[in-house]
Amino acid sequence: MNPLRAWRESRGLTRVQLSVIAAVSYSQIAAAESGHAAQLPRRIARAVARLDGEPAARELVTAFAQWRDEQASRIAAALGSN
C-alpha cells in the first residue's frame, strides 16, 4: 500500500482533510497516493512533520520514494515481459 495513504488512514484523515492541513489540492493528494507524483510533495511532508514530528516525516518521505521505485520496477518488468 502507498505509504502516504497508509499514514493518512492510520490518522483517520480523509484526502480532503489532509489537503486542508497540508494546504495542497485534493488532486495532489490523489496523485501522490496513486503514484503519479515522482516524490512526496514538500507541503505534505511538512504537514506530517507538524502532526507527527520531523523523524516521522523523514521516514514517510523515504518510504514513499522506495514505494515509488518498486512501482516503477514492477511496471518496467511487466512491459519487458510482453
Cell numbers placing 75: 511496471
How much is the pLDDT for 82?
Answer: 61
Q: Do the beta carbons of residue 64 and residue 40 sit within 8 Å?
A: yes
E strands, the chain, in order? none
Instruction: Please give the model's pTM, rounded to 2 decimal places.
Output: 0.90
The whole-number pLDDT of residue 55 equals 97
59 SS3 class: helix
pLDDT along the chain (82 residues), means of 10: 97 98 97 93 96 97 96 92 65
Q: What is the largest CA-CA distance in the chain?
A: 45
